[in-house]
Amino acid sequence: MFKKNLANQEKISVVGMGYVGLPLAVAFAEKGIEVIGFDINEAKIQEYKNGHDATEEVGDERLQKITNIKFTSNPEDLKEAKIHIVAVPTPVLLNKMPDLRPIKGSSEIVGKNMVEGSIVIYESTVYPGATEETCIPILEKESGMKCGVDFKIGYSPERINPGDKVHRVENIVKVTSGMDAECAEIIAQLYEQIIVAGVHRATSIKVAEAAKVIENSQRDINIAFVNELALIFDKMGIDTQEVLEAAGTKWNFLPFSPGLVGGHCIGIDPYYLAYKAEELGHHAEIILAGRKTNDGMGKYVAERTVKNLIADGKKIKGSNVLIMGLTFKEDCPDLRNSKVEDIILELKEYGVNVYVTDPIASKEQAMKEYGVELKNLEDMKDMDGIIVAVSHKEYKEMKLEDLKKHFYINGNKPVLMDIKGVFDRIEAEKEYAYWRL
């Protein structure tokens, strides 16, 4: 029953049409497979139907060429498919506990609408054990079927890097797994149709879940290390980037840079692993220490900005500061879990008037997510300080001289905070009270 699905190229559904689900759906469709692209957000579905990709992961031109994806917000359309791929977000709550509501909700929808012989594959990042402990009972309850008899499940963690035009879904090795050998092989073969880089067959669902969650935890810890170095070297009056450049001449020195750590993966996934560890009686000290350091960087940048404004003779309350960049990373419109918000909120605590601009972020989404009204850069005048928070290509192409028209000049050098080191330090220090992380 299950082997027949792959042999006959049954329709597949992708549940969740965001930064992960859309590229996946398009990749399958381009191989001639009929795809049902489902999302509960009707406005998003309508945009895709109109040929517009707001995520910019696929692009309008490529999306408009696809004819075998049925974009829908009607759950009953899922009944047409026998292979379901769930690619919904797994955020954290305000207390940093895992928020499994999206994956539970999608499991309810799939369970209510799947047919006998279905295979459900989860791509959402979770702690080891979540797929089997949380999702199977929901699927069984809603479908009235028995897992392993009437349907099967697998797990293949997403490895999408939003905004990355080089490492795409097709050329990143895919980790796959299934609840038994038969299911695991079907899932591996399914992904092999679209993944040029090949697949890695994990020995179990828990192994695949664990592999995914430690990928981002490892990166988070490494960035936390260089962020802590940046805090130390700042107090010493040493330029962190120059230190890293010198240390990087050794062949085995890892190339990480300091900065704000946000987004929907690195800034969130470690909390899932720490939560499960705590549940088992182990306190994840290194993981949580890294999270604490990275979560505090926005506050540090804001405080450093205030100190530099004071040194420049500015009155803090009522001063005007422009923040350039709101997305969580450069050249990507994704606003989820942007740590630029921490800078904004901290500066407002000091009574600073904060203005924000971003060349690629959605103004509607910025207002919805953070209550931030994005301004046009050209309209920004008389600023007491500027923080270049995100190293967008547009900012990298700017000349230092271009920034002067946005400042209020009082005889002192204007305050320029360059978090990611977009500008040359030596040149910048000639014209600005310049600081970089």
**Please, are residues 156 and 139 in contact by the beta-carbon 8 Å criterion?**
no
**Mean pLDDT, to the nearest integer, of 141-164?**
90
Q: Which domains does the chain have, with CATH numbers?
A: 2-203 (3.40.50.720), 205-295 (1.10.1040.10), 296-437 (3.40.50.720)
**Please, are residues 216 and 266 in contact by the beta-carbon 8 Å criterion?**
yes
**Mean pLDDT, to the nearest integer, of 191-207?**
95
Band of pLDDT at residue 164, cut at 50, 70 and 90? low
Please report the pLDDT score of residue 58 as a whole number: 84
For a pLDDT cut of 90, what percent of the chain falls above it? Answer: 83
Band of pLDDT at residue 305, cut at 50, 70 and 90? very high
Beta strand pairing call for 174-178 and 151-155: antiparallel
Please report the pLDDT score of residue 235 as a whole number: 94
End-to-end CA distance of the chain: 58
pLDDT at 4 over 70: no
Band of pLDDT at residue 7, cut at 50, 70 and 90? very low
Please report the pLDDT score of residue 236 as a whole number: 96
Closest CA to 17 of 52, 62, 63, 48: 48
Query: What strand order describes the sheet that includes 353-357?
Result: 374-375, 353-357, 320-324, 385-388, 415-418, 433-436
**Mean pLDDT, to the nearest integer, of 143-149?**
96
Over residues 73-131, the pLDDT tens digits come to: 999 999 999 999 999 999 999 899 999 999 999 999 999 999 999 999 999 999 999 99
**Please, are residues 152 and 116 in contact by the beta-carbon 8 Å criterion?**
no
d(CA 338, CA 283): 27
**What is the enclosing helix (H) or strand (E) of 151?**
strand 151-155
**Please, are residues 21 and 15 in contact by the beta-carbon 8 Å criterion?**
yes
Please report the pLDDT score of residue 355 as a whole number: 97
- Tokens 């139907």, residue? 49
Band of pLDDT at residue 1, cut at 50, 70 and 90? low
Cα distances from 2 to residues 138, 146, 262, in angstroms, run 21, 14, 40
Please report the pLDDT score of residue 137 as a whole number: 97
Dihedral over Cα of 36, 38, 43, 48: its sign: negative
Over residues 240-283, the pLDDT tens digits come to: 999 999 999 999 999 999 999 987 788 889 999 999 999 999 99
| Count of other CB atoms within 10 angstroms of residue 65 | 11
d(CA 390, CA 328): 8
Band of pLDDT at residue 187, cut at 50, 70 and 90? very high
Phi, psi of 12 (to 5 degrees): -115, 155
pLDDT at 66 over 70: yes
**Please, are residues 299 and 346 in contact by the beta-carbon 8 Å criterion?**
yes
Please report the pLDDT score of residue 10 as a whole number: 75
pTM above 0.85, yes or no: yes
**Please, are residues 215 and 284 in contact by the beta-carbon 8 Å criterion?**
no
- Give the number of residues written for the chain: 437
Over residues 348-405, the pLDDT tens digits come to: 999 999 999 999 999 999 999 999 999 999 999 999 999 999 999 999 999 999 999 9
Q: What residues act catalytically?
A: 265
